Amino acid sequence: MARQRLWTEPRINALGRLRGLPELLRGERVRSLAIGASITAALLIGTGLMIEATGGATTPLVHLLYIPVVMGAIIFKSWGGLVVGIIAGVISSPVATGAVEPASAWAMRTLILAGIGWTFGTAHELLQRRLSQTKELVSRLSTVHARTLSTFASTVDLRDKPTSGHSSRVAHNARAIGIALGLAQETLRAVYWAGLLHDLGKIAIPERILQKPGSLTPDEIVTMRRHSDIGANLLMSVSGDLRQIADGVRSHHERWDGSGYPRELREEAIPLVGRIVSIADVFEALTCNRPYRQPQPVPEVLDFVRQRNGVWFDPELVPLLEDLYWKGEIYTAASVETQLPVEEPPVIIDTEPAENDSLLRLRAIYRPDYHLGSSGRP
């Protein structure tokens, strides 16, 4: 049985013609090399003609030969730089220019040009190798970070099973809002991961509070409200590169009017990632089923969000959320049959009461309906 060819193999037939050469010559790399060789040759010829027209190697124009030599070194590496350097030396020789010059001077110039080409080409090769290694390392670190974040997300779902799937829907909806805003890719990535991990800090919240069917006591509310800080600190303990995600996690319960927690930030002082996750979180929480209540109809939830436009939420995001929902780009628990897939040092958790716990406790007493967040609770 004949061997199956999985690619076009250049081979020579009886007439000695190389098959597959057209495909080879159509390659991007070959085209780039051809263009580079043409430019280098044009520079060599042009410089040689100028040197000849101005009196030979004694003219300062001879130094222009460094340009094609360096270009040859960049395009064709060390050996290419060496060859172009020798050619440059020949072009500037008395034989080519017709000028009177000692052979030793021409030979030394050729040696210098060839040496520069070789040295520059070698240095360029080393730099490219280092850059390639750095790029590979960054790619590996990104993969490690993504796997770590995915593991965190799975941990949240396992820790709080009644809200399983909530975080992935918040992540999807937050990213849809970010895309509509035209955010940069890195910010969009932070929006997605902050949405997926906004409840990460709940792994430190007792189950009796997370799964309590009734109302929370003021002390339990204070404990629950610490989850945003805990989640952000966990992320920062993994890597400082996750700061934008951590800031989104920390601020997803802040409110546009400054009535949120944990920092009481207001308006533009709230990180954009946190503002996006906040509105996506509340919308999803109110439209999904919880042990202590049934999901609310989407029109009622949208009305709830509109009433808090400029109070809880960024005024720019409220109409955007509604528009995206009616376009079918915002998910609810009822519209998604299965859980959405995730796309992409020792941890020290402060268990002591926060300095502003007394303030939070007062709010819990006098404002029991203060916030319906990621679990439909304060």
pLDDT at 13: 47
In degrees and rounded to multiples of 5, residue 119 shows phi and psi of -65, -45
Give this prediction's pTM.
0.59
Q: What percent of the chain has pLDDT over 70?
A: 74
pLDDT band of residue 80 (cuts 50, 70, 90) is confident
pLDDT at 351: 36
Number of domains in the chain: 2
pLDDT at 336: 66
Residue 193 lies in a domain: yes
Residue 11 lies in a domain: no
**202 given a catalytic annotation:** yes
pLDDT at 129: 87
Residue 334 lies in a domain: yes
The neighbouring-strand residues paired with 12 are 18
pLDDT at 360: 38
Count Cα atoms within 13 angstroms, Cβ side, for 195: 35
Answer yes or no: is pLDDT of 320 > 90.
Answer: yes
Cβ-based neighbours of 320, under 8 Å, separated by 6 or more: 177, 180, 181
Residues, the chain: 378
pLDDT at 157: 64
Residue 378 lies in a domain: no
Give yes or no: residues 196 and 334 share one domain. Answer: yes
Place of tokens 């790029």: 135
| Rounded (10°) angle between helices 272-287 and 166-181 | 130
Q: Is residue 330 a contact partner of residue 321, using CB atoms and an 8 Å limit?
A: yes
* DSSP conformational letter for 347: -
Of the candidates 161, 202, 212, 327, the residue annotated as catalytic is 202
From the list 311, 305, 281, the residue with the least C-alpha distance to 376 is: 281
- Which residue range(s) make up the domain with 293? 165-366
Count Cα atoms within 13 angstroms, Cβ side, for 366: 6
* DSSP conformational letter for 7: S
Give yes or no: residues 130 and 178 share one domain. Answer: no
Residues 113-172 have pLDDT tens digits of 899 999 988 998 888 888 888 777 766 766 666 677 777 766 766 665 556 678 888 999
Cβ-based neighbours of 5, under 8 Å, separated by 6 or more: none
Residue 351 lies in a domain: yes
Provide the residue type at 370 as one letter: Y
Cα separation, 164 vs 339, whole angstroms: 8
Position with higher pLDDT, 9 vs 147? 147
Give yes or no: residues 178 and 118 share one domain. Answer: no
The mean pLDDT value for 289-302 works out to 80
**CATH code of the domain covering residue 291:** 1.10.3210.10
Q: Of the spans 100-109, 228-237, 312-321, 356-365, which averages the highest pLDDT? A: 312-321
Cα separation, 46 vs 27, whole angstroms: 29
Give yes or no: residues 171 and 125 share one domain. Answer: no
Residue 12 lies in a domain: no
**Chain center to CA of 312:** 29
